[in-house]
Amino acid sequence: MKAVLQRASSASVVVDGAQVGAIGAGFVLLLCVEQQDSEDECNFLARKCSELRIFADQDGKMNLSLIDVKGSVLLISQFTLAADWKKGRRPGFTGAASPAEGKRLYEYFGKVMEDLGINVQYGVFGAHMDVSLTNDGPVTLMLDYRSNAN
């Protein structure tokens, strides 16, 4: 499981000309479910994202978590994070989970975050989406469960 987390002061997602999700302060989370992923990875990564101290405290230091600031999440499915780009010029995406499993775990991930008390807004799984955000900082983290799970 991979995610790109972008701290945002606001963000929205539009599908077919209609806004389907929007947040104020919080983060945009681009989530890639890979073939070997399960609920275990979702549970770990959702909790980790909610607890990462990437928001400024009163002294301007990154000491507060999403839960601390009562921030929201705009959750966007992003299978392209599974790209194999090392050979040739066209990336391959065979490492991504099947669409059915990807959607199931994407929705499960969002539910885990909701159960942690976080307001989660969603993109539309598998749709072409226009995502807009005001990246705050900018603060952007690349989270790869396989390389940093220990």
Q: Measure CA 87 to chain center.
A: 27
Catalytic amino acids? Answer: 78-80
What does the block give as tokens for 12? 């929205």
What does the block give as tokens for 60? 């301007």
Residue at 7: amino acid letter: R
Q: Where are the beta strands (DSSP E) in the chain?
A: 2-15, 18-23, 26-32, 55-56, 62-64, 72-77, 119-122, 130-144
Question: What is the maximum alpha-carbon separation in the chain?
Answer: 49
Nearest Cα neighbor of 63 from 73, 55, 72 is 55
